[in-house]
Structure 1
């Protein structure tokens, strides 16, 4: 029997600087901190941010080796041009898209 997933519940990934990463997603998408404490008992600073439908669980690590990391993830957005404009305001380098 095949089980069908309705949507992605959350994405969990490593960051080099937790506070800078949180600031980025707050400024770009208006995300809020949803959970302050370490949700996964990981021995690293971590927080969950997002909104009503998207949750990003980030944890700060010193070693950013690529093993087991996420290559990318995508968001459905209302207006692509608005996001590009906001990225330009925040001086985010657009690598693709």
Structure 2
């Protein structure tokens, strides 16, 4: 595992999200000054969740309206039934940092 810089804390307003161009893509969310990171791709329809609707700790996929908990990655509503992988986030000075797995590390479901 290694840490990458996602953005500055000033770059992401409350209730907003951004997509990191990682493989797989990661969505980073700011909810009331707390930052969360999950796989950016909906487990149902391959849509970017960074482009979805954020309501508190939930993100709704823009394509088919599946909802996920951005804290745990849990799929909350159909048509999604599989969870998202989650990523550890830390604040390092002015930077939002995300822990990403090296390609040799295995992942299953929520991290």
Tell me the TM-score range normalised by the shorter chain: under 0.3
Q: What TM-score does the superposition give when structure 2 sets the normalisation length? A: 0.25
Q: What TM-score does the superposition give when structure 1 sets the normalisation length? A: 0.27
Which structure is larger by alpha-carbon Rg, 1 or 2? 1
**Structure showing the higher helix proportion among its residues:** 1
